[in-house]
Amino acid sequence: MTNFGDVTLNDFDKDYVYSLPFERGKTQLVYQGYNGKFSHQNISALDFNLKIGEKIFAAREGKVVEVVDTFNSNCANISCAKYNNKIVIMHSDGSFADYAHLKLKGAEVKVGDVIEKNQFIGYSGNTGFSNGPHLHFSVFLNRIDGKRDYIPTKFKTSTSEGELLQEGKTYTKNY
């Protein structure tokens, strides 16, 4: 197993404000939030209700360290997590963002690409451990053996310069 980044890292930018990872002018529901009941127990991750084929945009600048977009199957069981299509981006502070459940051939970036905030990176889908089309988004610190320490993240929204998103609420990207 390969680890990306510094697995001992504890100092990261706790105040960074992320961009919503979908198109400008769109409003999206967070249908599963931090510590959600379906698959986010003890995990600071967000599920946005993007449909298959909707565009995904980078929430923060960084470098692409992993791309998987070869799968076309899903199920609502953890055993299907191995079929998660995803893009993982490393940030300048050593944290990572995971954009998961992309559609087959849904990545528009490749490993090594340097990404700008709000750059178009791929298409939403319904692959892997998924019970319906959506974009799974999380920020984490990498640990030994693929374990992750998830980080709650603040987002710029149409009503706030930086807020923690909540399950069951909708958010508009007007920038």
Report pLDDT for 174.
97
Report pLDDT for 11.
83
With a cut of 70, list the residues of the chain below it in pLDDT.
Answer: 1-3, 38
| Cβ neighbourhood burial of 9 (10 Å; 0-12, 13-18, 19+) | middle
| Cβ pair 121, 107 in contact under 8 A | yes
Structure tokens at 108: 């528009």
Report pLDDT for 3.
64
E strands present in the chain:
17-19, 27-32, 45-48, 55-57, 62-68, 74-75, 86-90, 96-100, 102-107, 114-115, 120-124, 128-129, 135-142, 148-150, 154-156, 163-164, 170-172
Report pLDDT for 113.
98
Report pLDDT for 42.
78
Report pLDDT for 43.
86
| Cβ pair 139, 151 in contact under 8 A | yes
Paired with 115 in beta bridges are 62
Report pLDDT for 145.
78
Paired with 137 in beta bridges are 46, 99
Could you give all domains of the chain from N- to C-terminal order, each with its CATH number?
A: 17-172 (2.70.70.10)
Strands 128-129 and 74-75: parallel
For residues 87 and 102, what is the distance between their CA atoms, to the nearest angstrom?
A: 8
Report pLDDT for 1.
47
Closest among 76, 73, 60 to 12, alpha carbons compared: 60
Report pLDDT for 89.
98
